[in-house]
Structure 1
């Protein structure tokens, strides 16, 4: 069974007396361990699709099964639990708490999950080591570069060992050199067995994936397998832990 199974999903919003169909019979399957880029022009439905995948919204019609669970049948509390335990989010704007250090930022999902303090510290430390920031545990976001902040965000997304790592324009606020650094990290995470879905409008970012899904007018226009990128001097030492 695929980790993501979206079948004939529609998402309709009411705008006054009008109905806007953001998704129109969209279907998509993603297997565990895949690396997928989602692309499309403005208004194509990619943001809505990602909200559905991330359990931030539920379909108007159709079905979405995440790890065999029908998301449309879940209560608000169950959806919140799924978001916290099954999906790791990485955003363009990092969304780190400025007064908390790296360790505390990464621990946050575990606090919501009710994990003990000692286990939180151990798992957050491990996650930061996985992204190459084991020596920055007590640094606050303003003491880090943009690339390091995004690495903290990735560690926070990984700390609950989610089924999916969902990244929305993860390099949008980064320069080209730092963007390449983050995409190399994603490549290492993919090779370690993580399932990655990256939303992007940049062809050079999508080229790092193994599959590119293009949306148009609320449905899948093309779904293409692509060759692995050539990445020289890729150092896997930052990912010594078991895959999430």
Structure 2
């Protein structure tokens, strides 16, 4: 980083701070770097950020679990709390090597990227319904099978009952809560990546109904939920015949429902 990048221009920092950017100085440095020396490019990036666009798509990347992942405007930006889900899925994949893993509702492929980074030999599939997210996932997961479609529908059928690990970050924001989300999410991320239906668990219900056909014996499914929703989500999977439990990581504000298929008899 050059000297001018290391010490962002005071006027630029002031504009970002006035727009509510808490880490204005750090953001200014990143935007200067992303502008590649073009004053016009910098002004465009700053104007878009001040208007409320998320920082990461403006930069073209997001840092997630120590990795730098490609993101584009209009996609769901991976959250820090989901790092817990990614790390758990990667650890399970490593423990079950040679393993077959599925990043379902993959978005830009953040969970899959952590799995691939920690277990390069894993057989990895990622699936999402959003074409822009799939485009990013194919950049972030060059050695995985990345497919586009609704939940399990596009997953290759020969992998039924073959997945040792399924990691899911399905939309779980209740429809009525969408208007109260931060503008960066509400106005700039696809509604389909946020809206989980009336109680936020519509996708959880569908996944609970379909997961048995895809998990290997003793396979593990990990799905993110809010702390309030987790008991209801776990009950959905338990009703479908799985052993379901809840894990919380208060430091990162993460809540996971862990779903285990029956062991082979």
Report 1 or 2 for greater relative contact order, CA contacts < 8 Å, sequence distance ≥ 6.
1
What is the TM-score normalised by the length of structure 1? 0.34
Higher helix share: 2
What is the TM-score normalised by the length of structure 2? 0.32
| Larger CA Rg, structure 1 vs 2 | 2
Higher strand share: 1
